[in-house]
Amino acid sequence: MATTPIAVLDGSDNIINVIGLKSSDVDDGGTPSDAKCSARILEIYGPSTDTNLYIMYKDSRVNEPGVGGTYDRANDKLIKPKEPPFAWPSYTLNTTTWQWDAPTPYPTDGQEYGWDEDTLSWVLTDPQW
């Protein structure tokens, strides 16, 4: 059974929980529908309040919801938490891709790297990892 993740938001648009609903309950002809999602949430949980809002994941919102993430109302986007493994304090939000970007691009030499926040650089990881 396929499920669609739903972000539960607090009054400041922080994601405080993620629940799943059967995709068939929120899809309208195979496309996620905010209206169908809202109706199903209302049936199960009752009306939303300012401290308990629900936002459904769909492709146009880019990221799946995760606890610690946020919802950007102005752009209708779900944003991953600004914490490892998604981001480090020095990362900035790219509002084209809606992903966290390191201050320097990831090396393209085919080797494996990890981010070192202390030096703000990519360092080779142990190949035995």
Q: Which pair of structure tokens corresponds to residue 104?
A: 């320097």
What phi and psi, each to the nearest 5 degrees, are found at residue 67? -55, 130
Provide the pLDDT confidence category of residue 117 given band limits of 50, 70 and 90.
very high
24 and 48 belong to one structural domain: yes
126 and 108 belong to one structural domain: yes
41: left (phi over 0), alpha (psi -120 to 50) or beta: alpha
Alpha helices in the chain (DSSP H): 23-26, 34-45
Q: How many domains are contained in the chain?
A: 2
Tell me: the pLDDT tens digits for 84-113?
A: 888 999 999 999 999 999 999 999 999 999
* Cα→Cα distances 52→47, 49, 62, Å: 9, 5, 22
Tell me: the pLDDT tens digits for 28-72?
A: 777 778 888 888 888 887 776 665 677 778 888 889 899 999 999
58 and 98 belong to one structural domain: no
